[in-house]
Amino acid sequence: MSIERTRPPHGGHGERGITVLLRRMHDAVAQEGSAQERLDHLTRAIASHVVADVCSIYLRRPDDDLELYSTEGLNREAVHLTRLKWGEGLVGLVAQNSRPLVTADAPLHPAFSYRPETGEDPLQSFLGVPLIRSGKVLGVLVIQNKAARSYTDEEVEAVQAVATLLAEISASGELLSQEETAEVGEMLHRPEKLKGFGIVSGVAFGKAVFLEAPAPKHKVFARNVAAEAERLEDGLTRLRASVDDMLSSNAGLSGVSRDVLEAYRLFAYDRGWKDRLRAAVFSGLTAESAVEQVRGENRARLMQAGDSYLRERLYDLDDLSNRLLRLLSGDDDGKRRGAHDEAVLVARTMGPAQLLEYGRDALKGLVLAEMSETSHAAIVARALKIPMVTGLHDAVERAEEGDQIIVDGDAGEVHIRPSPEIAEDYRRKQRSQNERRAIYLSERSLPSVTRDGVGVSLMMNAGLVLDMPSLHETGGEGVGLFRTELQFLIGERLPSVASQQALYREVLDAADGKPVVFRTADIGGDKTAAYMDGWRESNPAMGWRGLRMAMDRPGMIRPQLRALLSAAAERTLHIMFPLVTLASELDEARNLLDREIERARKRGRPLPQTISIGAMIETPSAAWRADIIARKVDFLSIGGNDLAQFYFAADRDSERVQRRYDPMNPGFLSFLKMTVDKAEAARAPLAYCGEQAADLVTAAALIGLGVRRFSVPASTVGPFRRLVRSVSSAELAAWLAPRLDQPAPSLREGFAAHLREKGAALE
């Protein structure tokens, strides 16, 4: 009984397909008469086509009640009389949950609410679908039948397609009165508070700018079908030309591999996609609504696909649809539009190169749907001190270009169109943060020593020359981790020796004698660039990456080692190798370094005065053999992000699992304690470079475990120094030691309470 297959029961002509229903909906809206009469015609058209005993449309009112606006099958007297509270009854539940509800026996459902004025006593089956626009529920479309039956996935999908159009109609002014349309507009522009995950701390104020701007507002139904078909054809022609140009020039697409571009091309030229778009237009839709209609169908099908590759193609289809919508609106260049003077960039995902394209002075904040705290875009944002919140999948739908936005990177909150009261609260918070930063600045020369006299070395993480001024602003003792891979990932090809040498020399000059630990490029696996086509793996975190890849491809690491040796001539060079798993790998790495040293000597080139070699402990195998690895290097550094990932078997870049573990888990802490003890027994200096140390509670625990060197984000150095000066390392160790064997999932709450009781500086 799906829309695709049902024959109209009331003397239909045997026509099939959703295009028939769309044409009937178009005819209903185009009829003369009052708004109520046209809405009733629309409801009858839907009920007739899906062979439903009842079809009802509930619309959301300004007080959030859901009012019965039209029905075919229920008592007409109930229209505008029956109202349900938000979350009340099955209709209210659909609205509250923003998703369809299907039941074969509605009266037995625990949320069922009986309204005698509707006359729905004999009805059993219920299918309710929310009308959603800009991420907000505007109403509910309900299909009911007397017979107890289950609606199929295909039927639900078809009714969802109708609901999408009803939501557009509600906001377009094509059906409701001017006053009612204005009320819908007010609902769409209410203040919104979204909760995500704070990635870069700080508060930002600005106006929404989209990396991929949403489609402009448009009419739903066509006045001239032939003209709309011509517009669609012209838009597709220009879309294909732009994709061909992108494929041939690859301009401005750093980090996008050719296979993605080929997929774009295949979809852009897909005959089936074009035919479905044309069918939607000839059913009476505008070209824009046809694109949105077909995109909704694709999205519904692919999101249910078991194949992850097919689900990923949803992004390709979405992007092509967005491009086509912009072309239909007259945006021919398809390029990023200029940002506001105070811009908050809103996007689903982005790469570091795209972020760097925006002017730092204009870009105030980032709101992203699908970024982890260790992604390269997040690293760049942290380096640029741009407040960032992620995990907000509906931010793109809920915000509009130019909306006022507040980004709270500390609480992980985003306020869209905030009220004056909320805005003033955040102005006060921003002033407080500025005052706190001034205090940290005044304390930068104070020694980082605990109350019981234990010195703790504080260094900062970096990955860009832009980071280096923070070294002196914060009073950091050096750069404990300089991530060199950003230069490898942002470009269109492998960086030359000359360009690498220039970067490393500039970093050393900026450090002004303070040590800089250069980690060789940790690429491969999940960190690939455009020139690394074909290197993607099904499980990249566990795959061909880091030192293991460098040993297999010496043509990548040897030029980097050559550049480092040259840049550090007559100075001290600190080199650290990433993702060490076996001690034998360090023998290979040192052999390559020795060959580059010998090469430089033969050519009479100056070398560093001292070369210090380190290994990153990022895998359980390396941690378990930290004492053996320590014999082959000058220092060790725990990479807490990866080590925690492998310890908990939780992909750090997976939003679904990355926050299911806590580094304050006693098992993980005892594992770290073992590693610290092994390094100490081998008399190897040990640092901690994980982002977990940016959390002051975890940082205090690491001090209690015996870690005495840290490399943290620049923004953390000041708070970390205050923490160190406020605690006793002996007291921290005494609290932790008897609790490391506990089965509790986390010691965080109890340890934080202990720190507060002892007067530790946690803010």
Which backbone phi and psi does 335 adopt, to 5 degrees? Answer: -95, 165
User: Could you please report the per-residue DSSP string of 457-510?
Assistant: EEEEEESSGGGTHHHHHHT-S-EEEEETHHHHHHSSSPPPHHHHHHHHHHHHHH
| Residue 642 and residue 579 in contact, taking contact as beta carbons nearer than 8 Å | yes
Q: Nearest CA to 560 among 616, 518, 524?
A: 518
Q: Judge whether 376 counts as a catalytic residue.
A: yes
Q: Evaluate the CA torsion angle 664, 665, 666, 669 in order and state its sign.
A: negative
Among 26, 41, 415, 689, the one annotated catalytic: 689
Tokens (6 digits) for 677: 């003890």
Q: Is the separation of the CB atoms in 39 and 70 below 8 Å?
A: yes
CB neighbours of 623 closer than 8 A, spacing ≥ 6? 617, 638, 643, 671, 674, 675, 678
Cα–Cα dist 472/351, whole Å: 28
Query: Where are the strands (E) in 287-338, listed by range?
Result: none
Place of tokens 């602003």: 473
Token pair for 673: 């304690």
Helix (H) or strand (E) holding 570: none
How many angstroms from the chain centroid is the CA of residue 629? 37
Residues in a beta bridge with 194: 414
Compute the distance between CA of residue 118 and CA of residue 141 in angstroms, rounded to an integer.
Answer: 16
Give the other-Cβ count within 10 Å of 38's Cβ: 20
Neighbours of 546 (CB within 10 A): 28
Long-range contacts of 633-636 (CB under 8 A, 24+ apart): 633/586, 633/684, 634/684, 634/685, 635/576, 635/684, 635/685, 635/686, 635/687, 636/679, 636/684, 636/685, 636/686, 636/687
**Orientation angle between helical segments 666-681 and 640-648, nearest 10 degrees:** 130
Residue 470 and residue 461: Cα distance in Å, rounded?
10
Using CA atoms, how far residue 206 sits from 362, 416, 417, 530, in Å, is 9, 10, 10, 32
Give every CB contact of residue 755 below 8 A, 6+ residues apart in sequence: 697, 700, 727, 762
Dist CA 757 CA 751 (whole Å): 10
Catalytic residue among 26, 41, 376, 415: 376
Sign, CA dihedral 700-701-705-707, equals negative
Do 421 and 204 contact (CB within 8 A), yes or no? no
Is 689 among the catalytic positions?
A: yes
Kindly write down the DSSP assignment for every residue of 113-138, as one continuous string.
---GGG--TT--EEEEEEEEETTEEE
> Rounded CA gap, 408 and 429, in Å?
10
Strand locations in 388-473 (E): 388-390, 404-408, 413-416, 457-462
Dump the DSSP string for 134-150.
TTEEEEEEEEEESS--P
Q: Find tokens 């000041």 and name the residue.
A: 718
Look up tokens 């004025």; give the residue: 117
Taking CA atoms, 48 is separated from 6, 120, 593, in Å, by 10, 18, 77
d(CA 519, CA 148): 65
Asked if 39 and 76 touch (Cβ cutoff 8 Å), the reply is: no
Active site residues: 376, 689
